């Protein structure tokens, strides 16, 4: 997903980068008040985020996005945070659905059977790593809270999958292999 931010304030950009997950990258920051049409032509983004302080108070301005491929979001820090959290949830749902299919194919290819408990835990671990960088212990904790199991139980279930595959020796090895393999 390609995002272009139009702002003159570094604090606005800081908020955007803080809220954005790792998988959504802010492509470019435009500090001029170029027209939205020229930004769209120049960068071809999926989303254009415009600082509300740069927007002329014209009712037709919000209709511009109807003619562009990119979605235009006119916002300030607080409004952006709320909107982006919703956008992030929708994007991550889409991303996780397509990634889950790829991870499942890779797991089966490595000889790990879908009926094993650790199979789902491995899939979830890779998805969590795609969104944020977690340590193995943090992954076990997150999975244990989500599935109401102990961290030892999660680790053991993943280890059972590792043992069923002849390609890997440790839990970390299989999870990071899939993380690097799946784009």
For 56-71, write each residue's pLDDT tens digit.
544 444 444 444 555 5
* Terminal alpha carbon distance of the chain: 13
Residue whose token pair is 């979830």: 124
Contact 6, 39 (CB under 8 A): yes
Long-range (24+ apart) CB contacts under 8 A made by 61-68 are: 64/36, 64/37, 65/36, 67/37, 68/36, 68/37, 68/40
Domains and their CATH numbers in the chain: 2-75 (3.40.50.2300), 94-181 (1.10.10.10)
Cα(137)–Cα(142) distance, rounded to whole angstroms? 9
Contact 41, 107 (CB under 8 A): no
Would you state the pLDDT for residue 56? 54
Region label for 72, one of left (φ > 0), alpha (ψ between -120 and 50) or beta (otherwise) = beta
Bridge pairing between strands 25-30 and 71-75: unpaired
What is the tens place of the pLDDT at every residue in 104-143? 888 988 889 889 999 999 999 998 888 788 889 999 999 9
User: If residue 74 lies in a helix (H) or strand (E), which one and from where to where?
Assistant: strand 71-75
Query: Highest-confidence range of 48-52, 88-92, 97-101, by mean pLDDT?
Result: 97-101
> Which residues, in sequence order, are CB contacts of 30 under 8 Å at separation 6+?
4, 5, 6, 7, 39, 43
Would you state the pLDDT for residue 5? 74
Asked whether the whole model's pTM tops 0.85, one would answer: no
What is the tens place of the pLDDT at every residue in 132-173? 888 899 999 999 999 999 999 999 999 999 998 888 889 999
């Amino acid at each position: 997903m390609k995002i272009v931010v139009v702002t003159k304030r570094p604090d606005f950009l800081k908020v955007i980068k803080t809220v954005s997950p790792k998988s959504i990258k802010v492509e470019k920051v435009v500090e001029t008040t170029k027209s939205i049409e020229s930004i769209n032509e120049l960068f071809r983004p999926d989303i254009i985020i415009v600082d509300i302080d740069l927007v002329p108070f014209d009712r037709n301005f919000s209709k511009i996005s109807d003619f562009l491929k990119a979605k235009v979001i006119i916002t300030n820090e607080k409004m952006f945070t709320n909107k982006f959290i919703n956008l992030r949830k929708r994007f991550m749902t889409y991303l996780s659905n397509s990634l889950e299919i790829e991870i499942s194919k890779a797991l089966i290819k490595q000889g790990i059977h879908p009926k094993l408990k650790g199979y789902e835990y491995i899939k979830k671990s890779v998805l969590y790593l795609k969104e944020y960088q977690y340590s193995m212990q943090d992954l076990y904790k997150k999975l244990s809270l989500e599935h109401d199991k102990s961290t030892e139980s999660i680790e053991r279930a993943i280890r059972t999958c590792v043992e069923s595959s002849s390609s890997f020796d440790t839990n970390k090895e299989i999870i990071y292999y899939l993380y690097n393999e799946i784009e």
